[in-house]
Amino acid sequence: MQWKPLAAACLLSAMAIPACASEFSVEIEIPALNVAEYHRPYVAVWIETDKGRHQQDLALWYDLALQDNEGTKWLKDLRLWWRRSGRQLEFPVDGLSGATRPVGVHQLTFKADSPQLKALPAGDYRLVVEAAREVGGREVIRLPFSWPTDAPGQISRQGKHELGRVALQLTP
Amino acid sequence: MNIKRLGACTLLALGIGVATTAQAHRAWMLPSATVLSGDNAWVTVDGAVSNSLFYFEHHPLSLERLEILSPSGEPVEAQNPARGRYRSMFDIELKEEGTYTLQMYRQGAFARYKQAGEFKRWSGPVEQLDQIPVAAEDVRVSEIDSRMQVFVTKGAPSAHNFTPTGQGIELVPITHPNDLVTGEPVRFKFLLDGQPAAGLPLVLIRDGIRYRDQVGEIELTADTNGQVEVTFTEPGMYWLEAELEQPSRLIEGAQRRLGYSATLEVLPL
């Protein structure tokens, strides 16, 4: 029963102020793993061009509360992100860094006029999600999309090891 | 209803598992070679405590308990011992033919407690547990029995040092640990206090974790005779670990935490 008012509200807002409502929403599932020693994964989320060039960091989840900034010691284990972006940054980065997340589905939502998206030129891109876990493995998932979007769209992919389902929803 | 109850039990078991699992870093020794020939044979050995195998990234291994036995069972002194920021090292000259055993064995009690608001650790022989101050609060004691071994052979492998002591977890070769090659089944027997360690869970992890995305642990369980069999497809240095918990017979109400680890080399054939 709940979807009806929700759908109606979306429709309404979409009709009223289309530009402002444009939204980029990422769902990242951290899977439950049956391992002897579990640590929450480090996760980096960013946008790259369809040629694979780094375009825009969106989120970084790591042990940012450890003493002496010690959690940064393992950032290099996000190997792809570290090479593309991380090694040029100084930590913590405002508006990017967050704590590691527990098992479950986590959502990141960015408006078209957010600092992350407002300067994104029109073009073809890929959303990249990379996860690396202490005493565990590493996994990268890429989801292609075009920006800006004129029709609602969703794309998702299922991770196999360190990530569960990763989904990108675009709302014009 | 049954399913629900089972679910709750599983959750409970998981919760306990998480609570008791220490942030266990791996302690290991890494020999420069395990199969040697010639008149002037030396090995150099690194020792470290780390997450990833075999990388020096956390802490050097303390060499205090290091014991080296020659193939005939004579104690051998480590040469050129040194302790760096992330690793310890030492050399051994292999004068005898046969298999050298490098080991660290620790048996005793370990305690954590709080005193005047500060967390403290204590370790020592079980009979000295009374050294823990009377004023200590939140005292948590466990009995520890852990063994770490490395085997190195000059010439033909020998078996003199594999006579079980009857204490803790021990490896008894069926396949000699310096005779491991890809494609051939490897069999070991494990003992717990001298008896077959039936059901003992074991993990094998190949070196070079940094260069692959998945750790790819090989998980084994000892059969009713304490035996395991594995056929390696990839050559390399492997870290073997077994862990077990049981009620302590020496310290009332405490758990006895047993561990065994070894670094094994599998050569390609």
Q: What's the pLDDT tens digit per position in A61-83? A: 999 888 888 888 899 999 999 99
pLDDT tens profile B50-92: 999 999 999 999 999 999 999 999 999 999 999 999 999 999 9
**Spatial contact of A103 and A21, defined as CB atoms under 8 Å apart:** no
Tally the C-alpha atoms within 13 A of residue B171's C-alpha that lie toward its C-beta.
30
Query: Is A135 in contact with B51 (Cβ distance < 8 A)?
Result: yes
Give the pLDDT of residue B16.
30
Q: For residue B22, what is the nearest residue in chain A, using CA coordinates?
A: A37
**Spatial contact of B198 and B219, defined as CB atoms under 8 Å apart:** no
* Nearest-by-Cβ selection for A37 from B21, B52, B213: B21
The torsion angle over the Cα atoms of residues A74, A78, A80 and A85, rounded to 10 degrees, is -70
- B39 at the A interface (CB within 8 A)? no
Question: Model ipTM?
Answer: 0.72
> Domain locations in chain A?
19-171
- A102 at the B interface (CB within 8 A)? no
Phi/psi of residue A162, nearest 5 degrees: -95, -15
DSSP string, A84-108: HTGGG--SSPTTTEE----SEEEEE
Mutate to test the interface with B, among A37, A63, A138, A141 (most CBs of B within 10 A): A37
- B85 at the A interface (CB within 8 A)? no
Give the pLDDT of residue A7.
42
* Nearest-by-Cβ selection for B21 from A36, A134, A139: A36
Q: For residue A160, what is the nearest residue in chain B, using CA coordinates?
A: B214
- Quote the pTM value: 0.81
Q: Does domain B24-107+144-267 have CATH number 3.40.630.30?
A: no
Q: For residue B243, what is the nearest residue in chain A, using CA coordinates?
A: A36
Q: Give the length of chain B.
A: 269
Taking the C-alpha atoms of residue A15 and residue A171, their distance in angstroms, rounded to an integer, is: 12
CB proximity list for A55: less than 8 A, separation 6 or greater: A46, A47, A48, A49, A120, A125
Query: Average pLDDT, stretch A158-167?
Result: 97
Give the pLDDT of residue B24.
65
| Rounded-to-5 percentages of helix, strand, coil across chain A | 20, 40, 40
CA distances from B79 to B43, B49, B50, B193 (A): 10, 21, 24, 32
Of A42, A164, A158, the C-alpha closest to A99 is A42
* A-proximal residues of B, 192-211, CB under 8 Å: 203
Residues of chain B found within 8 Å of residue A38, distances taken between Cβ atoms: 18, 21
- List chain B residues with pLDDT less than 70: 1-24
> Domain locations in chain B?
24-107+144-267
Residues of chain A found within 8 Å of residue B214, distances taken between Cβ atoms: 137-138, 161
- A36 at the B interface (CB within 8 A)? yes
Q: For residue A161, what is the nearest residue in chain B, using CA coordinates?
A: B214
